[in-house]
Amino acid sequence: MAFAAACAAKALAVSRKHRAADEVTLAAETQLHEIITRSLQRADVDSARFQNFLHHKDQQAARELIAADEETQALAAELSVVLDRIEPGVHPVVAGDILAARALLEAASRIQGRIFEENQRATQGARK
């Protein structure tokens, strides 16, 4: 997901070389950099929560693991909204970067969805 956001940020940066950035573009650049940072942090949190669940297998660890998955899915949805918002203003020379961002986001979302399903099954007994 961080790589998807980075592709979008690159598209905006290159687009700015062809025309001045408006408020939407500047806000999107900031948001994309935050998404990159949060995506990398999410990976660490997800890993730590999964490891915690494997060691404890209690209700709290199960809830935290599922919450981590939900937070990652929410971040993916946020990135999708940003991509929709910026795509019309991206210079044609970097339209492929938006296509790449969407493909990477789709892959990350599918993987995360699968992990979420597996974690729900694994934690089902502990969450009750």
| Other CB atoms within 10 A of residue 19 CB | 10
**pLDDT-based confidence at residue 21 (cuts at 50, 70, 90):** confident
The distance from CA 85 to its chain's CA centroid, rounded to whole angstroms, is: 16
The mean predicted confidence, pLDDT, of the chain is 95
pLDDT of residue 127: 61
User: In this structure, what CATH number is given to the domain that contains residue 14?
Assistant: 1.20.120
pLDDT above 90: percentage of residues in the chain: 90
Q: What is the pLDDT of residues 22-76, one digit of tens each?
A: 898 999 999 999 999 999 999 999 999 999 999 999 999 999 999 999 999 999 9
Where in the sequence is the domain holding 20, given as residue range(s)? 2-123
Q: Could you give the number of structural domains in the chain?
A: 1
Query: Could you tell me which residues come within 8 angstroms of residue 39 by beta carbon, excluding any fewer than 6 positions away?
Result: 1, 2, 5, 75
pLDDT above 70: percentage of residues in the chain: 98
Residue 128 counted as domain residue: no
